[in-house]
Chain A
């Protein structure tokens, strides 16, 4: 396969270009006016403009979309971490009745297509009066973020030697003291990575978010799919919104770079 040295380096460079070109194009579109986009084709923006970004920050439909998304993502991340941390500790430290079955069942929820749950979700959340609230989307996203968080955290927690737990016991500390003051601070990196992944997977989801939100809690991903106006699609505006939604991930990735692979592999790679 790799008979010539340098061939694999070439593959990397070509692939890198393939990866960057669409990103460059999005950024370049976001800095153009619609007249420039619809006008003659050019590789570089003829004139740079921040008008598209200004529009997003001044139009309530857009910035409320961002606020709506951030609110359900934040609620979801908090709930996911709060319930997943004790569960992941239990899975990583003890055997108990049905542990393997439960661990597997959690995985099936991470892997299940959200479309499968669409029909009952709509009725379930309407029935309990949560439809069109950020809480509804946050709870619905728990479907995959909770299993994700449990699996990732279990992978990290299993790497922490059990001697630590035993030493705390010998020192006469209560379990709660040990857990809050010793175990969690040691694993703050792992918790940060898990937070990042819950955030990401809730931030990127469209189908459930769209189904469970009506007019008053429309998330940014939904606003983006409805930018068609009388004069056609506003490509510059759409590109600017795209650039802004990419930012959170890009800003945080540096801090989780070491554990990125582990997170994507559900904590199964060291």
Chain B
């Protein structure tokens, strides 16, 4: 959103339909959640105000704390792998060969697959009995069974997420790299810059903008991951791969713990709001430059 626009409050008319539909699908539910989070609801006729009791209970609940820590470790792990790997892959894509389009489309494939099918693909791929990966690893003499061993489940989950989303970083980074004019490289060559210096002083500044978008999108989307682990591991073995969303879904629909689940929802939403604000300010700032 650039700042050189006429002021016209009649533009509100254009925004109104969006406002109504999102009010129905987001505002009413969110208010309901806040409402539940401060009440004890035995049934819908007898409820009483409990203040912040559910919040305190949720924050102290070891299952919540565990799920939150797992979530943080998971998100940081996949970011630490996907960002450098994505940039490295992007640097390998030829800039103007007749294969460029083909490579880009190939890279985009995992992004277009329904998330539950991503889970299915990795289930079929990693199972020790019928999977190409699982069977091969076991045949090499390394015992591997992601349905029984927490560590193996984690490795499989991370491998799956890297498979699913590194392409996004790679495509973004490629867009950043192709926006660098050739004279920049020629000038660097004249100055006798090493490949590292070219990367650090010519490419990095151009990549910064797109990488901020990529990192924040991945951070937020990985923070709400549900479908892929649900299909692949079901959160197990035990609770080893139960992330925040799955824990919340179990509380809300599985056990109908209205109050605690609502308090959980509000805390979860506030975290996302914080990430969102960072995303918004960094993206809007780069737009205005």
**Bound state CA distance, A117 and B22, in angstroms?**
12
Interface presence of B239 (CB below 8 A): no
Q: Mark A153-193, 1 if CB is under 8 A from B, else 0.
A: 01000100000000000000000000000000000000000
Q: Residues of A contacting B11 with CB < 8 Å? A: 90-91, 93-94, 96, 99
Q: Residues of A contacting B30 with CB < 8 Å? A: 116-117, 120
Partner of A15, one of B3, B26, B89: B89
Interface presence of B186 (CB below 8 A): no
Q: Contact between A93 and B109 (Cβ–Cβ < 8 Å)? A: no
Q: Mark A95-128, 1 if CB is under 8 A from B, else 0.
A: 1110110111011110111111111111110000
Interface presence of B155 (CB below 8 A): no
In whole Å, how far is B13's beta carbon from the nearest beta carbon of chain A?
A: 8
Q: Contact between B5 and A9 (Cβ–Cβ < 8 Å)? A: no
Q: Contact between A124 and B33 (Cβ–Cβ < 8 Å)? A: no
Q: Contact between B272 and A246 (Cβ–Cβ < 8 Å)? A: no
Q: Residues of B contacting A74 with CB < 8 Å? A: none
Interface presence of B210 (CB below 8 A): yes
**Bound state CA distance, A142 and B20, in angstroms?**
11
In whole Å, how far is A37's beta carbon from the nearest beta carbon of chain B?
A: 5
Interface presence of B253 (CB below 8 A): yes
**Bound state CA distance, A210 and B85, in angstroms?**
34
Q: Mark B193-219, 1 if CB is under 8 A from A, else 0.
A: 001100100000000001001100100
The size bracket of the interface on B is 35 or more
**Bound state CA distance, A20 and B105, in angstroms?**
12
Q: Contact between A19 and B226 (Cβ–Cβ < 8 Å)? A: no
Q: Contact between B273 and A249 (Cβ–Cβ < 8 Å)? A: no
The size bracket of the interface on A is 35 or more
Interface presence of A198 (CB below 8 A): no
Q: Residues of B contacting A150 with CB < 8 Å? A: 18
Partner of A96, one of B7, B105, B261: B7
Interface presence of B115 (CB below 8 A): yes
**Bound state CA distance, A239 and B22, in angstroms?**
36
Q: Contact between B104 and A21 (Cβ–Cβ < 8 Å)? A: no
Partner of B17, one of A1, A82, A254: A82
Interface presence of A152 (CB below 8 A): no
Q: Contact between A147 and B226 (Cβ–Cβ < 8 Å)? A: no
Closest to B200 in A: A1
Q: Mark A202-243, 1 if CB is under 8 A from B, else 0.
A: 011111000100000000010011000000000100110010
**Bound state CA distance, A19 and B110, in angstroms?**
8
Q: Contact between A269 and B230 (Cβ–Cβ < 8 Å)? A: no
**Bound state CA distance, A119 and B3, in angstroms?**
40
Partner of A120, one of B29, B135, B213, B287: B29
Interface presence of B280 (CB below 8 A): yes
Partner of B132, one of A21, A113, A261: A21
Pick 29 A–B contacts, CB within 8 A, sort by A.
A2-B91, A11-B91, A12-B93, A22-B163, A26-B120, A37-B130, A87-B18, A90-B13, A104-B276, A104-B280, A106-B18, A111-B272, A112-B26, A113-B245, A115-B249, A115-B252, A117-B26, A117-B30, A118-B248, A119-B253, A120-B30, A124-B29, A139-B21, A206-B230, A207-B245, A225-B116, A245-B117, A264-B168, A264-B172
16 A-B pairs besides A1-B88, A11-B88 with CB distance below 8 A are A11-B91, A13-B92, A22-B133, A29-B130, A41-B135, A94-B7, A96-B8, A108-B276, A115-B244, A117-B30, A117-B33, A139-B21, A142-B22, A146-B21, A206-B230, A235-B124
Pairs of residues from A and B, 4 with the lowest C-beta to C-beta distance, nearest first? A12-B92, A249-B112, A90-B14, A113-B224
